Amino acid sequence: MAHAKKAKVKHTVDLSSSTISSLPQEIKAKILSNLSIHMAVRASVLSSDWRNLWTIMPDIFLCDSKFCSVCPSSDSSEAFYISGRSKFVTLVDLALSLHKGTLDTFQIHGAQSYHDVFARWMYMLSTKRPGAITIKLTSGPQYKIPSSLFSISHLYLLYLKNCSISLPKKFEGFRLLRVLKLKVFSTTDSDISNLISSCPLLDVVRLKYFEGISCLSIQSQTLEILEVEGNFEDIHVDAPNLLHMYLTLSNTEDHQSVPVQGDRKSYLKQTFGSLTHITTLSVSGSFLTYLSKGCMLTEVPGVFDHLETVHMERCLWKWTEVLASCSLFQKALLLSELEIFVSLHTHCIIFCHYSFS
């Protein structure tokens, strides 16, 4: 009976394998993209039919979570960890080296360090000229983005996490880029400004948790959504078609709300002066403190005639911040919704929601 069962199981596996192998390439490519890393590597190494599927896959998503999630506590678990990382490196190498068709989307997520192979991966990726790139490699120091990635002219989406950005001298911009997302990154004032201004079709910019930026300059004629969360000393926004803006300034120590006598710099104007179409505004952290700096009696910019929704959270609500808020509201004639979160102390949060009809 035991032998009969073995024969039956073996026959079933062979039949299943034969059936899958006879499927059209497009369906097999979909199956391969949903396999675990272990199965994908095994199939690609052992079978030329499966290995050739990497040449036609339009979307590649790679994640090391299946094999690199073990914390080494013994020799055996450490060996398992090293083996998992090695298999993931093999899988990425296979995917990038074998691909010959049109690559629309490339995503890679990793919780282990791949600094030793990152430059090679980025060079191979640049030769495939994908339309959308997402890189989330979160372990260890920030990954320095090589110049090869900035040569991909067909990008329409770029999402980088845990990276260091330094534009090459001959950077010509991403002419088709519409979405730019950067998270946990470092760069300079000039590089982030040039990167954004060199993308003539940009619709969405999200910048979170950055270092090295003192004066953040956003210049874009097409930008519709802007989200900024981090520490900076100054911000300039020139985006006449911006519709939705979300601003969070984390560091309160560098932004005292005491007006300076004779200071004629209008922080309201340099931030909102060009935003003639904005409909949604969210201010959080100490950004309201930033807006209240300088002379609050300067003329308020003539904007906000399309502003409908305002959200304010984690503000200190000193008297200068109240004045800044009034400056924001006094020309928002179409304002229909206002949300205010006030934290009185650690265990007390007040939420106010106002709807205007």
Contact assessment for residue 121 and residue 96, using Cβ atoms and an 8 Å cutoff:
yes
Is residue 37 situated within a structural domain? no
Bridging pattern class, strands 132-137 and 105-110 = parallel
Is residue 327 situated within a structural domain? yes
Residue 73: which residues within 8 A CB-CB, separation 6 or more?
A: none
The phi, psi pair for 249, rounded to 5°, reads: -110, 115
Is residue 155 situated within a structural domain? no
Is residue 73 situated within a structural domain? no
Total count of domains within the chain: 1
Residue 254 CB-half CA count within 13 A? 10
H helix intervals, the chain: 2-21, 25-33, 37-46, 48-51, 75-98, 115-128, 189-197, 267-272, 287-291, 319-329
Boundaries of domain holding 243: 214-357
Is residue 8 situated within a structural domain? no
- pLDDT (tens place) for every residue of the chain, 357 residues total: 455 544 444 333 332 455 666 777 667 666 666 665 556 656 666 566 666 666 777 888 888 886 654 444 444 444 445 577 888 898 899 888 888 877 899 999 999 999 999 999 999 999 999 999 999 999 989 999 999 999 998 999 999 999 999 999 989 999 999 999 999 999 999 999 999 999 999 999 999 999 999 999 999 999 999 999 999 888 899 999 999 999 988 764 444 444 444 444 556 666 776 777 899 989 887 777 776 665 444 455 556 788 898 888 866 666 666 666 776 777 777 888 888 776 655 555 555 655 665
Residue 258 CB-half CA count within 13 A? 5
Residue 260: which residues within 8 A CB-CB, separation 6 or more?
A: 293, 294, 295
Is residue 22 situated within a structural domain? no
